[in-house]
Amino acid sequence: MTHRKGKEGAFLFLAPALLILAGITLYPLLHVFRLSLHRRLLIFDISRFVGPENYLYLLGDTRFRNALGNTIYFTVLSVLLELLFGLAIALLLNRHFRGKGLMRTIILIPWAIPTVVSARMWEWLYNPDFGLLNHLLGFRINWLGSPFLALNAAVAMDVWKTTPFVALLLTAGLQTIPRDLYGAARIDGAGPWTLFRKITLPLLMPVILVVLLFRTLDAFRVFDAVYVLTGGGPANSTETLSIYAYKILFQTLQFGYGSAISVMVFLCVGLFTLLFIPLLRRRKV
C-alpha cells in the first residue's frame, strides 16, 4: 500500500516536467510528423493528406541527397578535427605552467562568441579581395566561391569555434584521472606514449564518448554557422539538411515536404543516439 503510494507520489513530482516536455517537444514532433504526411502549400492554400508521398519523393530528390552528403561530410570531418585538436589542447592545459588560468580563459573565447558573429567574422577573413587569409597567404583564392573549398571553409570555422568546448569537457575529464595512476605507471616503466595509450585514453573514454555524442548531434543539425557564412551556396555545395529544410519550409512555404526533411533529420539524430547509448552504458566505470 505504502509502496503504491510512493510510486504515485513520484509520478506527481515528475508530472510537471513531463507535461512541459510533452508540450514543447513531443507535441511539435508529432505535429511535424503529421504535416509531413500532407501536401500543404501556403502560397496556393493547398492542404490535403497524401500519405507517404513526400517520403517517396525524398528518395529520388538529388538535392536532398546532396544535402545529406554535405551534412555527413561536415559532421564527420568537423567532429574528428574538433576531437583531435580538443584533446591536444586539453592535454596541454592539464600540465602545470605559468599563466595556465589565463590560457584556459583565452582558449574559450571562440566558443563565447555568438555563432552568427563568428560566421560574419570568418566571412570577412575568407573574403577574396580584402580578407586577412589571402593577405597573409599572398594568393587570391575565392574560399567561399568554389564548391570544394566552401564546405571545407565552413568546417574550418566550426572547428575554430567548437574546439574550445571539446577541450573544456576533456580537461574536466582529465582532471578526474588520479595523479597516482601516472606515478604508478611511470614507476612500472611506462613512457609518455604508453601512459597516454594505456592510462589516459581508456580512462578518458567515457568523456570522449559524451563529447562525440554532443558534437555529432550538434554538427548534424548545423544551421546558423553555415547559413550565415555561405547561405548554402555556391550551387548548394554547402547546403546541409537543416538549411535545405529551412529553405523549403520558410522560403518556399512547402510545409509538408519541409516537414518530411525535418523528420529525416530527426530520424538520423535518433539513430546516432541509439547507437551511442549502449557504448556509454558499457563504459560506465
Partner 1 sequence: MTEIGFHSLCKKFKKTSVIDDLNLTIENREFFTFVGPSGCGKSTILNMVAGLESITSGMITFDGHSIDGLPPGERDIAMVFQSYALYPHMTVRENLAFPLSVRKVPSADRQREVEKIAALLALTPFLSRLPRELSGGQRQRVALGRALIRKPKVFLMDEPLSNLDAKLRIEMRTELKRLHREFPVTTIYVTHDQEEAMALSDRIALLHEGALRQCGPPQEVYAAPANLFSAGFIGSPPMNFIEGTLLLDLPFLASRLAEYRNQPFIAGIRPTDLRITGEKRENTLSGRVLFLETTGETTWIDLEWRGNRIRGKTGPVRRTARDETAYFTIPPEKLHLFDKSSGERLW
Binding positions for partner 1, rule: CB under 8 A: 178, 180-181, 183-191, 194, 198-199, 202-203, 285
Which cell goes with 41? 502549400
Quick one: 52 or 183, whose CB is closer to partner 1? 183
Closer CB to partner 1, 29 or 190, in the complex: 190
Nearer to partner 1, 101 or 189 (CB): 189
In the 3-class helix/strand/coil scheme, how is 211-268 assigned residue by residue? Answer: HHHHHHHHHHCCCHHHHHHHCCCCCCCCCCHHHHHHHHHHHCCEHHHHHHHHHHHHHH
The region that residue 140 occupies, defined by phi over 0 for left and psi between -120 and 50 for alpha, beta otherwise, is beta
Q: Give the three cell numbers for residue 9.
A: 507520489
Is residue 86 within 8 Å of 73, Cβ to Cβ?
A: no
The C-alpha cell that represents 124 in the structure block: 570577412
- Closest approach of Cβ 205 to partner 1, in Å? 8
Encoded amino acid at 148, one letter? F
Query: Shortest approach of partner 1 to residue 86 CB, angstroms?
Result: 21
The amino acid present at 166, given as its one-letter code, is V
Residue 212 CB, nearest approach to partner 1 (Å)? 18
**What residues does 49 pair with on adjacent strands?**
38
Shortest separation between residue 2's beta carbon and partner 1, angstroms: 34
Rounded to the nearest whole angstrom, what is the least distance from the CB of residue 174 to partner 1 in the complex? 15
99 φ, ψ (degrees, to nearest 5): 75, 25
Rounded-to-integer distance, Cα 256 and Cα 54, Å: 7
CB of 206 to partner 1, least distance (A): 10
Residue closer to partner 1 (CB basis): 65 or 100: 100
Nearer to partner 1, 69 or 206 (CB): 206
Work out how close the CB of 171 gets to partner 1 at its nearest, in angstroms, rounded to a whole number.
20
Comparison of 45 and 180: residue with beta carbon closer to partner 1: 180
The DSSP symbol for 131 reads: -
Which CB atom, from 129 or from 180, has the smaller least distance to partner 1?
180
- Distance CA(217)–CA(244), nearest Å, equals 17
C-alpha span between 32 and 49 (Å, rounded):
13
Q: Where are the alpha helices (DSSP H) in 94-146?
A: 100-112, 115-126, 132-137
